[in-house]
Amino acid sequence: TVVDEGFVRNRVIWIKYGETVSANSASLTVMIPKSNMPFPGGYPQTATVYTEYLRLWLEESHWRGEDASSRNKRKVIYYMRRGSTPRRNVDQELESVILSKIREAMVKRGQNPEEDLIIFNGLDENGETLSMQTQFDLFSSADTAIGPHGSGLTNIIWMDPRCSSGGSNSKEDRRPKVLEFVSSKQTPSIQTGSFWGYWFLYGSLPWIDYHQMYYTADSTDPQTFIDPEIFQSALNLMWGIK
């Protein structure tokens, strides 16, 4: 109901597992997974069509005709998994370094980290899951999201293309930015070493200036590491900081 309450209440039919439904005098769109694998050992992409339709829905129900300046809060979201899951938590000492580098870079791009940086783990101050409305509002007004691959980053689907941050390696590329930490062949204990990331799961992210960096080889499923110097370079490139 967060995206379009009237549509959900009046036009969405929930089908139970094993139930057969006939569409008489109506169109039916079926999402068929692609047969190709995005990477060895991975799974077929299933979300390309779904994502395209959802983004069109967002455009029609939320963004068309709305004043862009009212949405663009230029918030930077750092996704922290600690406290919500025992898996793929970035090393605590390293995470402090990462946040320090983000704050320093934000100052260089004219932002106030005290006001504009949001540490997000999907929970409120009482440890309860944030409402979908709150998560939608946070991500649809942010211009950048950074953090490890995980369910909290699914919210990048809500990022509004008008909440642009500028920067990146092209003056014309003013899409919202995402920098995601992911596994690779050098970290086989994390998601079997697959290149999982939301670029694959969402069937590419054309509305986002998307960046990835890999965990270092000393990472394990409970505790992950990235190279802080490479992170600094990635941050500068993404935000156009010289």
Name the DSSP class of 122.
Answer: S
When comparing pLDDT for 78 and 32, which is higher? 78
| CA 184/CA 215 separation, integer angstroms | 7
pLDDT on residue 175 = 85
Number of Cβ atoms within 10 Å of the Cβ of 240? 15
Residue 176 in this model has a pLDDT that exceeds 50: yes
pLDDT on residue 12 = 75
| CA 165/CA 174 separation, integer angstroms | 6
Q: Which are the contacts of 226, defined by CB distance < 8 A and separation ≥ 6?
A: 90, 94, 98, 181, 213, 214, 215, 216
Contact 93, 160 (CB under 8 A): no
Of 95-109, 201-215, 218-232, least confident by mean pLDDT is: 201-215
Tokens of 241: 């900081």
pLDDT in tens, 123-136: 999 999 999 889 98
Tokens of 18: 């094993």
Most confident of 38-52, 136-150, 159-173: 136-150
Of 31-45, 61-75, 221-235, least confident by mean pLDDT is: 31-45
Contact 139, 152 (CB under 8 A): no
Residue closest to 143 by CA, chosen among 170, 167, 122, 121: 167
Of 52-61, 82-91, 231-240, least confident by mean pLDDT is: 52-61
| CA 139/CA 141 separation, integer angstroms | 5
pLDDT on residue 2 = 64
pLDDT in tens, 72-96: 578 999 999 998 899 999 999 999 9
Most confident of 83-87, 185-189, 225-229: 225-229
For the chain, percent of residues with pLDDT exceeding 90 = 48
**Residue labelled with tokens 């999907």:** 122
> Which amino acid would we find at residue 171?
K
pLDDT on residue 182 = 95
Mean residue pLDDT of the chain comes to 83
Of 48-52, 80-84, 120-124, 154-158, least confident by mean pLDDT is: 48-52
Contact 141, 75 (CB under 8 A): yes
Region of residue 41 (left: phi > 0; alpha: psi -120 to 50; beta: else)? left
pLDDT on residue 68 = 52
